[in-house]
Amino acid sequence: MHWTNAIAMFILIGSGWKIYNDEVLFGWLHFPEEFTIGGEAQGALQWHLFAMWILMLNGLAYLIYGIVTGRFRRMLTPIRITEILSNIRDALRFRLGHDDLTRYNGVQKMLYTGIIVVGILQVLTGLAIWKPVQFSELAALFGSFQTARLLHFLCMTAIVAFVLVHVALALLVPRTLVGMLTGGPELDERPDPKLTTAAQDASR
Amino acid sequence: MSVRTPSPSIFRPKAGIDQSVLHENRNLLAEIDRRKILRGAVSLGALTMLTGCDVTNRGAVQSILKAVSSFNDGVQSLLFRPNHLAPTFSEAEVVKPPRFNAFYDITDLKPVDRANWKLELAGLIEDKRPWTAQQIYALPEQEWIVRHVCVEGWDYIGQWSGVNLREFLTRIGADLKAKYIMFRCADGYSGSIDMASALHPQTILATKYAREPITDPFGFPLRLRTAVKLGFKNPKWITAMEVTNTYPGGYWEDRGFNWFSGL
């Protein structure tokens, strides 16, 4: 689900930049054409309205899975201000621990919850821009057509900022990458001695 | 690495995960290397920047994108609410004059001569006699103050009046069960819309903007104005209209823009 989402986001952001360039919100901001997807406007729109299905279906499955299995409750709550503050203090002193990759710290809980909310908002503003008449009730929530566009742009900015920090931090703790590719540290109730060696080798 | 109790995932195998895979692939796992991943990422990035090697323009990819665009046409026609009105606005919000847009610059505009202009009718229509501007301007009018949304992302509020398209189609005895209405224009532009959108209450053949006859840059003497489609689905300087069951395409639609393009 994570990598499906990553591919969909990559396509949506790259094609979205091309669509944005056709009618910019800010005169000083044009995305370099080399970093856009789709070639011309129509190609970018085709990519965007193709990848939106991947994002929406994958995202819906992820939300249902997270809620039904209790994963969100277990992994993302409770979010405590005191824990977040102490994480920030530890991080500034380079003492933040990553020993247990199966548990999120306070800052992770806050950011991972935040990015889910931004993702949902991004889909809703996207639908309001795509169908301002059929979904006029939804579009009205975001004010005018241009405020919906601006919100869609700001959510994109938040997602890009999140991805930059997320990737940079994952590279700082390379052990997480192995977990991301193999399904994560998840040990059987009856540990296999051969496996323990393999896992240690992998984490070196 | 710490051990945690297996989560109650519905997808987790009851007997636990088969661990042999990890052991069999230990060499592969040992090879996962940050530098290789970075090098791979950089080469992929470099590949997309090579001109003439655009990974997004291969035939197979194009046909998938086209198929999804057709699928999106179907989804949009399912989402379409025939009697749901687009938001309307007050006269104070109307932008005058409206914004010009065509597949060429405004300086290349060739105005239509009203005296020689005619609206030709074709296809599944009982009375195919052509209409003069005088006849069309004498028809009962309807006015809508609605938002015009361009596929590029800009929008403005416009005040349009003219004969309701459903009323006009009924008057000329068009087959209202046909699938498409196709428009041809004096400047070589063409476009088509689905029948459901053509019959929507806020779809008119516009002859006036802000209660004055439409000026040359905005489609004089006759243009389509529908509140349920993107701007490019509103052909200007219309010279012919055809009712048909054969997919007619259109200028921008043939160049890759989504056909339905509903709002």
How do the domains of chain B map onto residue ranges? 81-255
A201 in contact with B at a CB cutoff of 8 Å?
yes
Report residue B8's pLDDT band, with 50, 70 and 90 as the boundaries. Answer: low
Rounded to whole angstroms, what are the CA distances from B88 to A2, A38, A49, B202, B262? 42, 34, 27, 10, 17
Report residue A43's pLDDT band, with 50, 70 and 90 as the boundaries. Answer: very high
d(CA A147, CA A152): 8
B23–A198 C-beta distance less than 8 A: yes
**Which of A40, A99, A204 faces B2 most closely, judged by CB atoms?**
A99
**Which of B69, B151, B228 faces A133 most closely, judged by CB atoms?**
B228
A137 in contact with B at a CB cutoff of 8 Å?
no
Lowest mean pLDDT among B29-33, B88-92, B176-180: B29-33
Q: Which residues contact B144 (CB under 8 A, 6 or more apart)?
A: B88, B159, B160, B161, B202, B204, B225, B227
Residue ranges of the alpha helices (H) in chain A? 2-22, 41-68, 71-76, 81-92, 106-130, 136-141, 145-172, 175-182, 193-203
Nearest CA in chain B to A191: B19
Is residue B3 within 8 A of residue A186, CB to CB? The reply is no
Is residue B139 within 8 A of residue B166, CB to CB? The reply is no
**Which of A46, A132, A190 faces B69 most closely, judged by CB atoms?**
A46
What structural domains and CATH numbers belong to chain A? 2-203 (1.20.950.20)
Q: What pLDDT score was predicted for residue B9?
A: 64
Closest chain B C-alpha to A39 CA, distance in angstroms: 8
Fold of B81-255: Sulfite Oxidase; Chain A, domain 2 (3.90.420)
Q: What pLDDT score was predicted for residue B23?
A: 75
Q: How many CA atoms lie within 13 A of B248 on its CB side?
A: 24
pLDDT at B135 over 50: yes
d(CA A65, CA B183): 48
Cβ burial of B208 (10 Å; 0-12, 13-18, 19+) is middle
The share of chain B scoring above pLDDT 90, in percent, equals 67
Report residue B94's pLDDT band, with 50, 70 and 90 as the boundaries. Answer: very high
B115 in contact with A at a CB cutoff of 8 Å?
no
Q: What pLDDT score was predicted for residue B1?
A: 46
**Which of B19, B72, B86 faces A133 most closely, judged by CB atoms?**
B86
d(CA B32, CA A202): 8
* Share in percent of chain B as helix, strand, coil (round to 5): 30, 25, 45
- A146-151, long-range: CB within 8 Å, 24+ apart, which pairs? A146/B155, A149/A25, A149/A125, A149/B153, A150/A25, A151/A121, A151/A125
d(CA A172, CA A166): 10
Of B60, B59, B69, B256, the closest CA to residue A51 belongs to B69
Nearest CA in chain A to B73: A49
Is residue B231 within 8 A of residue B261, CB to CB? The reply is no
Lowest mean pLDDT among A134-138, A177-181, A188-192, B153-157: A188-192
Is residue B247 within 8 A of residue B180, CB to CB? The reply is yes
Beta-strand ranges (E) seen in chain B are: 118-123, 131-132, 142-149, 155-164, 180-185, 190-194, 203-209, 212-213, 223-226, 238-244
Rounded to whole angstroms, what are the CA distances from B45 to A33, A199, B42, B229? 14, 31, 5, 37
pLDDT at B251 over 60: yes
Q: Can you read off the two tokens belonging to residue B161?
A: 């009046």
Report residue B7's pLDDT band, with 50, 70 and 90 as the boundaries. Answer: low
B7 in contact with A at a CB cutoff of 8 Å?
yes
Element (H, E) at B29: helix B26-31
Residue bearing the bigger pLDDT, A2 or A199:
A2
Q: Confirm whether the ipTM is greater than 0.85.
A: no
d(CA B104, CA B177): 35
Report residue A189's pLDDT band, with 50, 70 and 90 as the boundaries. Answer: very low
Q: Which residues contact B100 (CB under 8 A, 6 or more apart)?
A: B106, B217, B218
DSSP letter, residue B244: E
